[in-house]
Amino acid sequence: MPAVSKGDGMRGLAVFISDIRNCKSKEAEIKRINKELANIRSKFKGDKALDGYSKKKYVCKLLFIFLLGHDIDFGHMEAVNLLSSNKYTEKQIGYLFISVLVNSNSELIRLINNAIKNDLASRNPTFMCLALHCIANVGSREMGEAFAADIPRILVAGDSMDSVKQSAALCLLRLYKASPDLVPMGEWTARVVHLLNDQHMGVVTAAVSLITCLCKKNPDDFKTCISLAVSRLSRIVSSASTDLQDYTYYFVPAPWLSVKLLRLLQCYPPPEDAAVKGRLVECLETVLNKAQEPPKSKKVQHSNAKNAILFETISLIIHYDSEPNLLVRACNQLGQFLQHRETNLRYLALESMCTLASSEFSHEAVKTHIDTVINALKTERDVSVRQRAADLLYAMCDRSNAKQIVSEMLRYLETADYAIREEIVLKVAILAEKYAVDYSWYVDTILNLIRIAGDYVSEEVWYRVLQIVTNRDDVQGYAAKTVFEALQAPACHENMVKVGGYILGEFGNLIAGDPRSSPPVQFSLLHSKFHLCSVATRALLLSTYIKFINLFPETKATIQGVLRAGSQLRNADVELQQRAVEYLTLSSVASTDVLATVLEEMPPFPERESSILAKLKRKKGPGAASALDDSRRDTSNSDINGGVEPTPSTVSTPSPSADLLGLRAAPSPAAPPVPVGGNLLVDVFSDGPTAQPSLGPTPEEAFLSELEPPAPESPMALLADPAPAADPGPEDIGPPIPEADELLNKFVCKNSGVLFENQLLQIGVKSEFRQNLGRMYLFYGNKTSVQFQNFSPTVVHPGDLQTQLAVQTKRVAAQVDGGAQVQQVLNIECLRDFLTPPLLSVRFRYGGTAQSLTLKLPVTINKFFQPTEMAAQDFFQRWKQLSLPLQEAQKIFKANHPMDAEVTKAKLLGFGSALLDNVDPNPENFVGAGIIQTKALQVGCLLRLEPNVQAQMYRLTLRTSKEPVSRHLCELLAQQF
Amino acid sequence: MMQFMLLFSRQGKLRLQKWYVPLSDKEKKKITRELVQTVLARKPKMCSFLEWRDLKIVYKRYASLYFCCAIEDQDNELITLEIIHRYVELLDKYFGSVCELDIIFNFEKAYFILDEFLLGGEVQETSKKNVLKAIEQADLLQEVPMGRTK
């Protein structure tokens, strides 16, 4: 090959590289490098102008030093000078340096862009390609701004050389991915699609990548590419292995192009045109047929290229999910690979089969491979392959094979790599619940999980077993017996103590008849674990003890003794101390009847989506659990195995409501905020319609409330006393005041403040939200000295909002004295996602004139955010799962406020999402995640905010599982910066 | 789309790095360290693919050099293995029985060849003939001053 190429043009560089290689130690290397850096610096600073060759040589040395891992802080200017050299090789090194060491120095960027502009205009294809490569390599926004409009022209120009078209296509792709807003759509897009017909295979190969990306963003505009892609693919697939000359790779015609075309087709549903569809199906069949033919070469390259196309074909078949025949054939093909001697193929087959398992057409076919997959889980030496096997077992699980799969996974768990244990635990827990025929098996499985991998059993898992046991009385006795036995083990995991403590506290009576598990035995067994447990567990056990006093009066004296002990009553931990004090008092002052009512068995939890499933979805993205969500396969079991609501309350469950001691907590704005979520807070003695357990309030309120006079209007009563239906209809009230939107925006990221103020009236707001519930206090202050009359604030739901958001209001006094303030309490429940806030209409008479005012109530969908913490990997996985074009909303906007990272952080937290550190590779960026809780559904949301301080701009990207929500959140949040 | 490609030796020395996504130098170094360690720790018979963060790593060893690519979730692992192989073939054809030293001493050429083959993380030209023709043409221009009008 060419002798000129060997770099002997730069002897000095070769000598320097040799020197470095000969260095015996790191120190010697650093010394040699520093010497060279000093030398280069002096040459660059010297008076004598350097010739192009020397400049090139030194720039190249700097590049080498940089690639060794050292920082380079000079030489950029010299590299930029090389760009305008008329010697190709100098120009080329200049571009290489710029590509590798981009520096956002604005002065330089201008010079670089100038040089690129000249080269693009040079009409010399070699120069043009160099310039295009540089843009594609750097891909910065500045370059996008300078060139995004020119490149489409170069791409579709009739006189562009093929090589230039290729570079232009991929260069444009890079710019479009980096800053889609900068690439103008236009007449060129139609012509780009026709590049699929280009005679030059290289041009097609490059163009398909660009077209695929454009299709993903604007599927409708590029629909014409389907038939072109199909006919191109068909020509390749049916061509003889030598037809395509240099584009044939180890007897496989154009494998890269084929894979890209199959990828492109996956942007769309199956072709509507019957002829096109027929042709495509023929292609897919041909590929499947070819897989059965003897190989044309023994080389691995041949089989890899062939199988690359085969796997991509199977992906497309799965994507269509409409051709049972093809799906089953695909499954059989993958089945062959499961036993292939190539590890790579086994790995890919397991991975691909996972998606096949969720199709109703191929689920049964996948199941036939269960033994092979279990064998893989046991025998594969590579952990990544075993992980795939575990994923596949999870995906192929149904009622018929659940016991087998769960027991294999439990066995695998004992030796599984630590990194994947938690995931396996979640999967086992979900399968056990989903496919439980009898619940004793379910309870056994979960207790086994805790025994084998207690550290990896997250809260969701053990909360869940409690919820299920609570809801199903046929399993309660068995559960009590089993946990009692499990607790006998000398060392048992703390999670076991929690589960055991809770279950015995609720259902210990069911096994108390047996003298081996009599009440004192149960108590002493639990109490023997007490001292080794964490605060949270001890708090739970204290609640168990008070429940025991109710269940087993004979234990009262012993337990009171324990509660009275100094180690409890004077415990340094405030929660433990408080529980001890309150439980002790409760057990002494309350009559047996009251005690029995307070400490009654927990009522069933409302049925909701499984919290573990939600957790797995959070871990793995929404697709991960899809196999199980799939109601097509398991419609019969929905009522038996349906979910129950995840409530955080189980932790402190049997704690009695504060109000039992006689007084209700008064809602005073000065007092600590009452936990929201009205229906969790109901007073057991109230005769309201909601017979909910008494859970939420922390005991401290009880004592505080004794000191305060009972408020005339307890918020509790509001639930039983909804505002009369005298609200004016939306047509009766005026349009919102012009500033309403601005006022609303102030409250997107915060929950309290002044909502409105004029000369007469001030409206303050204070609100709290939890899950899908919220409570809002509105304070109406009369700023005048004259009484307002007929004062009537009402909440109106415009449009469909009534079905999306329920707001209950309490009527307030019709007169507001001068200088006085009245308070109105609103209970809010988010039923489903909503886009417009409710309206607040305030009317009153002041000095004889009617005043009316309509505002937007500061309730926006983000208030129902529940922050979700997740690791980078999970975040990205989830992010990718939400990649449908409509699931993403993006806004690029100018900063309206100073760009302070701390302020931004606070705003994002106020917005409601969790802020995730160490997720975005760029530490300047913010990444957040959360779930919007509504009664009907949960919407997972991911967000990313990229500040660009130099440009004073932000880019905000939202991805959610529900399309209008993405856009709405994006708009809400973009207003805040 | 390929996110980056790394070439490193058995000893863990980085020989070539190509990044198709913007990352800070610090992050690049961290990723490199992590991946070099992970890949070198793997045994010869193991699978050439692994999940890493939200990406898929595809790697292959040629003599003393490891070629390691990071691709996205929907990308095709096998075709990426062959991207690596085709790149090795291109280097081999250009240098004539390429060895690690060729890449060390002529790293700039290795970059130029890669840019002809892959651009922006996507395959640009798969024909060996066309890629090498482009590089040879450039080599012929080596020291000849060029006018604007050629």
Q: Is the per-residue pLDDT at A902 higher than 60?
A: yes
User: Measured between alpha carbons, how far is B70 from B52 in angstroms, rounded to an integer?
Assistant: 9
CB contact under 8 A, B126 and A249: yes
Residues paired with residue A816 on neighbouring β-strands, in sequence order: A788
Report the pLDDT value the prediction gives residue A638, as an integer from 0 to 100.
35
User: Are B122 and A170 inside 8 Å of each other by CB?
Assistant: yes
B138/A92 touch (CB, cutoff 8 Å), yes or no: yes
Tell whether B149 is covered by a domain. no
Residue A58 marked as a ligand binder: yes
Check CB contact under 8 Å for B14 and A17.
no
Give yes or no for B11 touching A (CB within 8 A).
no
Of B27, B108, B115, which is closest to A93 when you measure between CB atoms?
B108
pLDDT at A789: 85
A459-471 helix and A611-620 helix, angle to the nearest 10 degrees? 160
Q: Searching chain B, which residue's CA lies closest to the CA of residue A303? A: B78
Region of A19 on the Ramachandran plot (φ > 0 left; ψ -120 to 50 alpha; else beta): alpha
pLDDT band at A916 (very low <50, low <70, confident <90, very high): confident
Q: How many residue contacts between A and B have a Cβ separation below 8 Å? A: 220
* Confidence grade of residue A911 (pLDDT, cut at 50, 70, 90): confident
- Numbers of helices and strands, H then E, in chain A: 43, 16
Asked, for residue B150, whether it belongs to a domain, the answer is no
Residues of chain A with Cβ-Cβ distance to B127 below 8 Å are: 201-202, 246-247
d(CA B125, CA B116): 7
CATH of the domain at B119: 3.30.450.60
Q: Shortest CB distance from A174 goes to which of B120, B127, B130?
A: B120
- What is the C-alpha separation between A751 and A767, in angstroms, rounded? 5
Asked if the structure places residue B34 within a domain, the reply is: yes
Rounded distance between C-alpha atoms, residue A506 and residue A501, angstroms: 9
**How far off is chain B from A444, nearest CA to CA, in Å?**
33
Instruction: Let me know: does A103 contact A76? Beta carbons within 8 Å.
Output: yes
CB contact under 8 A, A384 and B51: yes
Tell me which H or E stretch contains A324.
helix A324-338
Give me the DSSP letters along A414-459.
HH--HHHHHHHHHHHHHHHHHT-SSHHHHHHHHHHHHHHHGGG--H
CA dihedral A186, A189, A191, A195 (to 10 degrees): 160
Q: Specify the pLDDT at position A405.
A: 94
Per-residue model confidence (pLDDT) at position B142: 62
pLDDT of residue A483 exceeding 90: yes
**Chain B environment of A343 (Cβ under 8 Å):** 45-48
Q: Is the pLDDT of residue A557 over 50?
A: yes
Is the Cα dihedral A201, A202, A205, A209 positive or negative? negative
Q: Does B67 map to a domain?
A: yes
Among chain A residues, the shortest Cα distance to B78 is held by A308
Q: Which residues contact residue A300 at a Cβ distance below 8 angstroms, ignoring those fewer than 6 apart? A: none
- The pLDDT score that the predictor gives to residue A222 is 92
CB within 8 Å of chain A, chain B residues 44-83: 45-51, 53-54, 72-74, 76-79, 81-83
- Cβ neighbours of residue A483 closer than 8 Å, sequence gap 6 or more: A447, A496, A499, A500, A503, A504
Check CB contact under 8 Å for B78 and A348: yes
> Phi and psi (nearest 5°) for A262?
-65, -35
- Looking at every residue in chain A, the average pLDDT score rounds to 82
Q: If contacts are CB pairs under 8 Å, which of residues 95-124 in chain B contact chain A?
A: 95-96, 104-109, 111-112, 115, 119-124
* The pLDDT value given to residue B88: 96
Q: What is the pLDDT of residues A571-622, one digit of tens each?
A: 889 999 999 999 999 999 888 888 888 888 888 887 766 667 777 766 655 4
User: Residues A503-525: what's their mean pLDDT?
Assistant: 92
- Which of A67, A171, A879 shows the shortest C-beta gap to B120? A171
> Who has greater pLDDT, A738 or A234?
A234
In the prediction, which pLDDT does A609 show?
Answer: 62
- Nearest residue of A to residue B73, measured between CA atoms: A880
Give A316's pLDDT tier (boundaries 50, 70, 90).
Answer: very high
Q: Which ranges of A708-862 does DSSP label H, i.e. alpha helix? A: 715-720, 740-746, 801-804
**Token pair for residue A923?**
């530490």
Confirm if A825 and A718 have CB atoms less than 8 A apart.
Answer: yes
Q: Is residue B119 part of a domain?
A: yes
Any idea which of A176-180, A645-649, A771-775, A859-863 has the lowest mean pLDDT? A645-649
Nearest by Cα to A352 from A362, A687, A825, A922? A362
Number of domains in chain B: 1
Q: Which two tokens stand for residue B4?
A: 């980056």
Decide if A201 and B29 are in contact by the 8 Å CB cutoff: no
Q: What is the band of A265 on the pLDDT scale with cuts at 50, 70, 90?
A: very high
Domain presence at residue B74: yes
Residue B38 lies in a domain: yes
How large a percentage of chain A has pLDDT more than 90? 40
Tell me the residue ranges of DSSP E strands in A216-347: 248-249, 252-253
Q: pLDDT-based confidence at A480, cuts 50/70/90?
A: very high
Residue A331, marked binder? no
Report the pLDDT value the prediction gives residue A644, as an integer from 0 to 100: 39
Domain limits for position B11:
2-143
Cβ distance of A21 and B111 shorter than 8 Å: no
Subunit contact B150:A170, Cβ cutoff 8 A: no
Angle between helix A76-83 and helix A52-67 axes, rounded to 10 deg = 130
Sorting pLDDT into bands at 50, 70 and 90, what band is A712?
A: very low
Rounded Cα distance, A838 and A502, in Å: 42
Q: How far is A282 from chain B (nearest CA, A)?
A: 22
Residues A218, A229 contacting (CB under 8 angstroms): no
Mutate to test the interface with A, among B5, B123, B140 (most CBs of A within 10 A): B123
Express each pLDDT in A932-963 by its tens digit.
888 888 888 888 898 888 888 888 988 888 87
Q: Phi/psi of residue A639, each to 5°?
A: -80, -30
> Quick one: CA dihedral A109, A115, A121, A125, positive or negative?
negative
For the stretch A790-821, pLDDT in tens is 888 888 887 778 888 888 887 788 888 888 88
- Partner residue facing A876 (CB), from B23, B53, B86: B53
User: Would you call B38 an interface residue with chain A, using a CB distance cutoff of 8 Å?
Assistant: no
Put residue A278 in one of left, alpha, beta given phi > 0 → left and psi -120 to 50 → alpha. alpha
Please indicate whether, in this complex, the C-beta atoms of A64 and B124 are within 8 angstroms of each other: no
Question: CA-CA distance, A846 to A792, in Å (whole number)?
Answer: 12
User: Locate tokens 């030496």: which residue?
Assistant: A381
Q: Please list every residue in chain A whose beta carbon sits closer than 8 Å to the beta carbon of residue B146.
A: 86-88, 124, 127
B93 Cβ under 8 Å from any chain A Cβ: yes
Nearest CA in chain B to A124: B150
Rounded CA-CA distance A288/A311 in Å is 10
Cβ–Cβ below 8 Å for A67 and B148: no
Chain A nearest-CA distance from B64, in A, is 16
> What is the reported pLDDT for A332?
93
Specify if B83 maps to a domain: yes
Distance CA B47, CA A651 (A): 44
Picking from B17, B45, B150, the nearest residue to A124 by CB comes out as: B150
The Cβ of residue A431 has, within 10 Å, a number of other Cβ atoms equal to: 23
Is A43 assigned a ligand-binding role in the annotation?
yes
Q: Is the Cβ–Cβ distance between A117 and A83 less than 8 Å?
A: no
At A743 the pLDDT is 83
User: How confident is residue A382, by pLDDT bands cut at 50, 70 and 90?
Assistant: confident
| Strand-pair partners of A852 | A843
Whole-angstrom distance, CA of residue A889 vs CA of residue A963: 8
pLDDT at A651 over 80: no
Answer whether residue A637 shows pLDDT above 70.
Answer: no
Is A57 annotated to bind a ligand? Reply is yes
Average pLDDT of B123-128? 95
Q: Which residue of B has its CA nearest to A319?
A: B74
Q: Determine whether the interchain pair A256/B79 forms a contact, defined as Cβ–Cβ distance below 8 Å.
A: yes
The 10s digit of each residue's pLDDT in A130-139 is 999 999 998 8
Confidence of residue B145 (pLDDT cuts 50, 70, 90): low
The answer to whether the Cβ–Cβ distance between B146 and A202 falls below 8 Å is no
Does the annotation place A60 within a ligand binding site? Answer: yes
Say if residue B120's pLDDT is above 60. Answer: yes
Please report residues of B whose CB lies closer than 8 A to that of A2: 136, 139
Token pair belonging to B54: 């939200």
Nearest chain A residue to B53, by CA: A873
**Mutation for B interface: A204, A252, A382, most B CBs within 10 A:** A382
Q: Give the separation between CA A781 and CA A802, rounded to whole angstroms.
A: 28
DSSP per-residue letters across A24-65: SSHHHHHHHHHHHHHHHHHHHHSSSPPPHHHHHHHHHHHHHH
User: Are B78 and A126 in contact (CB < 8 Å)?
Assistant: no
Is A793 within 8 Å of A824 (Cβ atoms)?
yes
